[in-house]
Structure 1
Amino acid sequence: MKFYKKLTLAGCLLVLFASNSHAAMEDELLALQHQWAKVNYQLADKAQEQAFEGLISDIEQYQKTYADKAEGYIWLGIIKSSFAGAKGGISALGLAKEAKSALETALSINPNALDGSAYTSLGTLYSKVPGWPLGFGDDKKAEDLLKKALTINPKGIDPNYFYGQYLYDDKQYSDAKKYLEIAHNAAPRVDRPLADQYRQHEIAQLLDKVEKKLKKKK
């Protein structure tokens, strides 16, 4: 009986430790997400570049600390792809390739992590990066990945926005409007208000472009 009680106590302590560790992991990631929103949306030029470099260093440390979790790889991919988008040009291709590798690793660990965000981010990379021989861009792969993200998170703001953006670029304006409206009506992410604020601004801008394209077709 005493042995059983000791095992029970040990089990409780393990559960408590695991719970605390998971909470710490989520808190650290949320802080990095908040920082990304500030760097991505509120900074520009040299200040943004320096901030992205610091943020990459932070997320790499996070990823190493939680190396068996997909979340760190997802955000490593998001931050590097965001930095690539901010830099632009040929010099950004190296960052894009590193982002692709991180997101593929995330998918190999847990494709459902963060509501399928690895699919969303990787699909967006494939749609934005130039194709061969300069880069790895591929519209078919992009669409397949973005659709997988939507099967996991059909009402989410990001998968619907990025698929709507893909459809707009492909001149499928009516379908783009449908997905952008879903993104516009997505439930707010209470722990990420700044990211939602700027994403909704992007959605509104793209919806305006879609409406203008649709009016021209009439």
Structure 2
Amino acid sequence: MKKLIIGLLLGALGQNVWALEPGDQQRLNGIQQRWAQIQYEVPEGQRSAAFEQLASQASAFTRERQSLAEAWIWSGIVTSSWAGAQGGLGALSKAKAAKGYLEKAMALDPQALQGSAYTSLAALYDRVPGWPIGFGDAEKAEQLLKQALQVNPNGIDSLYFWGDHLYRQKRYGEARDALQKALRSAPRPGRETADAGRRKEIEALLVDVNKKLN
């Protein structure tokens, strides 16, 4: 379960939140930036505690702004990242909680943050064990990723998780195309740390993909 939600990340979810009120935007940006710092700069052994603290912050945001899909999306991302950092039996319960947060976000506004709820939920379905242990489902993951790409066809995160899914399905040529396209994604202002970390993940996965193709 250690890699349960590698980056679920969505640093992705780093899409601009210009439609929000200034105070909500500032609060959300703070959560996004802290997530990227923990995911890509904090030593692995310290990430679980750091994500636990950030999860409390994200939870407070959702309690106070329950109508904001963006807040629920980031509660889902932070909680799933916490699960991945913690590992063990407790990870699955956190993954289930994250699933609920992301489903709530989709019910409120599936287009929020350029469809990031689709991407994040798909990553959970791809990484969590299947029945009878968990709710993992590769077919459901693919459906969600296709919806994410309809909303955001050129996003670094939607393309990365699509490429990762294709790799898991042994569709290596398609995976390479998706990952190469992800590397060409436009940088996101204010998301430099997340973008740099995601690009490293894409490059590492491309190495594995190319090994399968050679």
Task: Tell me, yes or no, whether TM beats 0.5.
Answer: yes
Percent identical pairs in the alignment equals: 46
Shift of 1:91: 2.1
Q: Quick check: 2:118–2:148 contact (8 Å CA) kept in 1?
A: yes
**1:22 has 2:21 as partner:** yes
Aligned to 1:159: 158
Partner of 1:50: 49
Q: How does 1:87-102 map to 2 (within 5 A)?
A: 87-102=86-101
Deviations, residues 190-213 of structure 1 (Å, cap 9, x unaligned):
110000000000011111111111
Contact 2:102–2:117 (CA under 8 A) maintained in structure 1? yes
Q: Could you list the per-position Cα deviations for residues 104-145 of structure 1 after superposition, in whole angstroms to 9, with x for gaps in the alignment?
A: 000000000000000000001000000011000001101000
Stretches (4+) displaced over 4 A: none
- What pairs up with 1:179-194 in 2 under 5 angstroms? 179-194=178-193
Rounded Cα–Cα distance in structure 1 between residues aligned with 2:23 and 2:125: 33
TM-score by length of 1: 0.87
Runs of 5+ unmatched residues, structure 1: 1-18
Corresponding pairs, count: 197
Say what the alpha-carbon RMSD is for the aligned residues. 1.5
Structure 1 counterpart of 2:124, one-letter code: L
Q: What is the CA-CA distance between 1:88 and the residue it aligns to?
A: 2.3
The answer to which structure, 1 or 2, has the higher relative contact order (CA under 8 A, 6+ apart) is 2
Q: Corresponding residue for 2:3?
A: none
Residue identity in the other structure for 1:103 = L
Moved more, 133-142 or 58-67: 58-67
Q: Which runs of 5+ in 2 are unaligned?
A: 1-17
Query: Relative to structure 1, is the Cα distance of residues 21 and 72 closer, same or farther in structure 2, using a 3 angstrom cutoff?
Result: closer
Match of 2:126 in 1: 127
Q: Which amino acid aligns with 1:49?
A: S
The amino acid that maps onto 1:142 is A
| Greater helix fraction, Structure 1 or Structure 2 | 1
Match of 1:205 in 2: 204
State TM-score, norm by structure 2: 0.89
Which amino acid in structure 2 is aligned with residue 124 of structure 1?
A
User: How much has 1:45 moved relative to structure 2?
Assistant: 4.5
